[in-house]
Chains A and B, each alone.
Chain A
Amino acid sequence: MTSPLEQKIRITGPVVVTANRVGDGAVVYRRADGGWTTQLASAAVATSASTARDLIKEAAADDLRAVGPYIAPVKLTAAGELRPGNLREAIRLGGPTIELPVTFGI
């Protein structure tokens, strides 16, 4: 698979860099200060290819804390809140769209 650093970056809207945390696989987002957060609202948002490239480059170098970083689209609501940019990212953030078996009533 092509490394994220070798991929051509095309940005059509705001994006964040996301990955999975090494220890437990949890979904994390790259913060502007170089850390990772599970809160999308705290993610660093890039609106240009060059900013996104910088973010992904730093994230990929942080292999000890997060796995498989990539650029993911986000949407900004009228109130300025960040939302996942597609269904896959919405599921990564919010969890499965189904009721898990343990709460299903069995």
Chain B
Amino acid sequence: MYIYDAFDRTLVAERVAEFRDQVARRLSGELTEEEFKPLRLMNGVYLQLHAYMLRIAIPYGTLSSDQLRKLAYVARKYDRGYGHFTTRQNIQFHWIKLEELPDAMAALAESGMHGMQTSGNCVRNLTTDQWAGVAPDELEDPRIWAELIRQHVTLHPEFSFMPRKFKIAVGSSHHDRAALRIHDLALQLHRNGAGETGFEVMVGGGLGRTPFLAKTIKPFLPKRDVLSYVEAVLRTYNQFGRRDNIYKARIKILVHELGAEAFAKEVDAEWQSIKDGALALDPAAVSEISGRFIYPDYERLDGKPPQLGQARRADRRFDVWMDNAVADHKVPGYAIVTLSLKPEGGTPGDATAVQMDAIADLADRYSFGEIRVGHEQNLALPHVAKRDLPDLWRALDAIGVATPNVGLVSDIISCPGLDYCSLANARSIPIAQEITRRFSKLDLQRDLGRLHINISGCINACGHHHVGHIGILGVEKNGEEFYQITLGGKADSAAELGALIGPAVPYAKVADVVEDIAAAYLELREHPEELFIDTVRRIGVEPFRERVYAAR
């Protein structure tokens, strides 16, 4: 956990007071909607189809049990008893009343949470690997660097009115769990040939109507230079990014049109002028931030507690869950546990207040009071003693978050779609729900293996459909919902954009098509260990296209 100080608390409290005044002036008519809209957006308040929506940042996906309880409280008192975890490590409440928003924000502020920079043309919530600080393959905790950048860009006047929003992610593991290549700016910690750690800097990634994967513009950036280089990237974008056309305003368009090499030269020219100035990092400043990350006082535990093996042999459901949802931890005797927010027929990423409270209690009991939020819209308990796994599983199972489908076909990433969102053209959630019902047999899911389905209800791609192994994009045709299907996308360290397999299909046929694709994979894979994504890469989309469209 990161321990916020008085400065952070004051900043958040002042923002609540300011917003309370703005809301009062809006409700009294002193502010028009035109005047109020940019103010509410600066606090993560959108207006959706049915109500206002409040988006709350969960910096680098780390939550304390107290914070999760506070989210449960807000869900219960000010919303409809649930919240929606998003693909950017945020949580959204979809039924918030403007009149009550200041009180809801004040409650969140008590636990250090807010909606600042979860909207608007600024640097958004910084994201990382949800296993940061505990993953065995991690070089070092990326959250230290994410926090450093977060502090620098929070309310930074120069970066509060950029051409468009700006998303930054930081990774540190061999396996990219933060979808780095689809970010405006991504930093990947690695070690160079001389044994020094630094960052690979990638820019210009993003999905939406013009998807691009980020390009590396600096293979190795020393740590001392990370703030100055980030500043140089932001300044270059701020100067050259387009402000005349919202569809061409993201940095991905600038990098594409200028070329990554030319963009890097512009950044470098800016960087040279500031790199040895105030932003050159003092190791003491980094130490101060890293010192605020409190790590658990781990016990020395048996890496293979005998009771765990006995429990696995005694209960197949537990054994299956262990295989699916439990990952190795860098400390012997501990494990990382993923909590699936994807029950059959449920809404991906939704958690009720009852679940949040229960998870907070379980985090206190089994995970040193800490919870993580992943971009796949699941939660994790990052520090669970292996000996406690049987008891934890029973408790998680009782509240519906132990579905052993992590990474499988029913672990669907989905935006809220037309059921909530005013930008959407088509529904996402019922499509996801129907697919989970079609694949309700766990043996089938396990046979299909790792298979990521990502669904977006419009071209803005909040459901990351371009990088789904199977991507589903809702479009509107003559007033009807249709869905384009792509195959072969992936968001990991070898990220790729999916390829369209053919004409869009109507709402009622999407789950059929996914079943056909899954059946085709089972026929076409070379052997049971060949993953879906590897089969698509080996044979291309054409064999899938033939099977899907031949029958239609």
Interface residues of chain A, those whose CB is within 8 Å of chain B, are 20, 22-27, 63-64, 67-68, 86-88, 91-92, 95-98, 100-102, 104, 106
Can you list 8 A-B contacts (CB < 8 A)? A25-B97, A67-B33, A91-B49, A96-B50, A98-B429, A101-B351, A102-B80, A104-B346
| Distance in angstroms between the alpha carbons of A72 and B419 in the assembled complex | 17
| Distance in angstroms between the alpha carbons of A102 and B346 in the assembled complex | 11
With A98-B347, A101-B351 already in contact, the answer to whether A23 and B27 are too (CB < 8 A) is yes
B495 close to A (CB within 8 Å): no
| Residue on A nearest B428 in the bound complex, by CB | A98
| Residue on B nearest A86 in the bound complex, by CB | B479
Closest beta carbon of chain A to B341's beta carbon, Å: 10
| Distance in angstroms between the alpha carbons of A104 and B345 in the assembled complex | 9
Known pairs A26-B51, A96-B420, A98-B347 / 8 extra A-B pairs, C-beta < 8 Å: A23-B99, A24-B51, A25-B48, A25-B50, A64-B29, A88-B49, A101-B352, A102-B82
| Distance in angstroms between the alpha carbons of A98 and B481 in the assembled complex | 16
Map CB proximity to A onto B397-433 as digits: 1 under 8 Å, 0 otherwise: 0011000000000000000001110000001011001
| Distance in angstroms between the alpha carbons of A96 and B481 in the assembled complex | 15
Closest beta carbon of chain A to B545's beta carbon, Å: 28
Determine whether the beta carbon of A101 is less than 8 Å from that of B346: yes
Secondary structure type dominating chain A contacts:
loop
Closest beta carbon of chain B to A92's beta carbon, Å: 5
List chain B residues, Cβ under 8 A from A68.
33, 47
Determine whether the beta carbon of A106 is less than 8 Å from that of B400: yes
| Distance in angstroms between the alpha carbons of A44 and B154 in the assembled complex | 47
Kindly identify, within residues 13 to 43 of chain B, every residue whose CB is under 8 Å from any CB belonging to chain A: 26-27, 29, 32-33
With A101-B347, A102-B80, A106-B399 already in contact, the answer to whether A96 and B419 are too (CB < 8 A) is yes
- For the side of the interface on B, what is the size category? 35 or more
Determine whether the beta carbon of A22 is less than 8 Å from that of B418: no
Interface residues of chain B, those whose CB is within 8 Å of chain A, are 26-27, 29, 32-33, 47-52, 80-82, 96-99, 343, 345-347, 350-352, 354-355, 399-400, 418-420, 427, 429-430, 433, 479, 481
Determine whether the beta carbon of B49 is less than 8 Å from that of A24: no
List chain B residues, Cβ under 8 A from A27.
49-50
List chain A residues, Cβ under 8 A from B26.
22
| Distance in angstroms between the alpha carbons of A100 and B430 in the assembled complex | 11
| Distance in angstroms between the alpha carbons of A91 and B420 in the assembled complex | 8
Determine whether the beta carbon of B418 is less than 8 Å from that of A91: yes
| Distance in angstroms between the alpha carbons of A100 and B95 in the assembled complex | 12
Q: Looking at A20, A97, A106, which has the most chain B CB atoms within 10 Å of its CB?
A: A106
Determine whether the beta carbon of B354 is less than 8 Å from that of A100: no
Determine whether the beta carbon of A20 is less than 8 Å from that of B47: yes
| Distance in angstroms between the alpha carbons of A20 and B51 in the assembled complex | 7
Closest beta carbon of chain B to A72's beta carbon, Å: 12
Closest beta carbon of chain B to A29's beta carbon, Å: 14
Determine whether the beta carbon of B352 is less than 8 Å from that of A97: no
